[in-house]
Chains A and B, each alone.
Chain A
Amino acid sequence: MLGPNGAGKSTLLRVISGLHQPSAGEVLLGGRRTTGADPVDLARRGLCLIPEGRGIFPTLTVRENLWMMTYRGVSRAQVEERAVARFPRLGARLDQPAGTMSGGEQQMLALARAIVSEPAVLLLDELSMGLAPRVVADLYATVRAIADEHVTIIVVEQFAAAVLEVADTAAVLVDGRFVASGRPADIAGQLSGAYLGGASAPARDHASSGDGAR
């Protein structure tokens, strides 16, 4: 899901995960209407949101951050084992305060935390924020690998190039409405048009700077 700043991407993810009540419309998960469900209930059943700006606890160690995810009946040892199997770099940093790791490592931890709980639906909000393109590409390769294990993933991203490469479907959100959706290759072509054509004036300069980054 792509879109200029303020398009409502994060808001939509918060609505899906039950943190906000939509004023209109409804959310369907696995064929069931879940609008208004308790976010805790949804999380317990396997809906996982990684919010904007690293949803980790910076003053806790990496290990303690991982332990937070034992609520689905997975033991602490299993949680650590799975996280390190996916991200070997975290293995050497288990006792380090999470906030002292590099941005990329912190996002690895956020992803690791999400996958050890075996989510069925994973919502990712701007994983790439403040990361180098190389790190972003690595992260999205991992995201693709998780998706290949039959986890439904919705990714919100400004870094369009990185995510369009691994996505199955893409959509552009402008001012709270989808202005385009389809195959990533098609969306990549229309992207600047969709951003500029449908966006309101203040969003315009953000959109063009985003294009510059691409």
Chain B
Amino acid sequence: MTIETTSTPTAAGGPADQGGATSTTTAASGAAGVSRADQFRAEIATLRIRDPRARTELVLLRLGAALLVVGPLVSLIAYFVSHSTTNPLQQRDAIVIALIGVAVTIGGAAVFVRYSMAAFLRFWLARLLFDRQRPGA
């Protein structure tokens, strides 16, 4: 379905009746007499449309979960590397690798919480709004 916003020559020609409106809409559109429809068309043109949004969130959620698993694994491997040698240089490398593992775990946890909480909080907020609507409606 197509919604045609009609750009009207009368609106452009007669800014007097629109004066209050155009002056307040936005500083960005600048020139007086730019009709609301043209402004809308311009703003829609700059709209960034993400591909199905839920999908990227799901991917990030899984990435976070994967990092949560990989991080401790890296640290564990570093432990065995350190354990199986008496060479202090190699052990220091192992310490660095273990710290990277910890960092990856923390990063993964942050991503995971962010994207699992986002979904949860949105649901919770919607629920809250709905509950507030009911008594009066």
Contacts and interface: CB of A to CB of B under 8 A. Distances in A.
Interface of A: 12, 16, 21, 25, 27-38, 41-42, 45-46, 53-54, 57-59, 72-74, 78, 97-100, 118, 120-121, 149-152, 154
B31 to A, nearest CB: 17
B84 interface: no
A210 B4 CA distance: 30
B128 to A, nearest CB: 12
Given A21-B52, A45-B47, A121 B1 contact: no
B136 A118 contact: no
Interface residues of B, number: 34
Given A30-B41, A37-B49, A57-B132, A78 B24 contact: yes
Contact of B51 (A36, A73, A150): A36
A151 B26 CA distance: 17
Contacts of A21: 52
B1 A27 contact: yes
Nearest to B8: A150
B135 A46 contact: no
B86 interface: no
Contacts of B3: 16, 27-30, 121, 152, 154
Contact of B37 (A27, A72, A97, A120): A120
B90 interface: no
B39 to A, nearest CB: 7
A32 B47 contact: yes
A137 B26 CA distance: 33
A34 B1 contact: no
Contacts of A78: 24
29 contacts: A12-B1, A16-B3, A21-B52, A29-B40, A29-B44, A30-B3, A31-B44, A32-B41, A34-B47, A37-B47, A37-B49, A41-B47, A46-B43, A57-B133, A59-B136, A73-B24, A73-B26, A78-B24, A97-B136, A99-B135, A99-B136, A99-B137, A100-B136, A118-B36, A121-B5, A150-B6, A150-B35, A151-B36, A152-B5
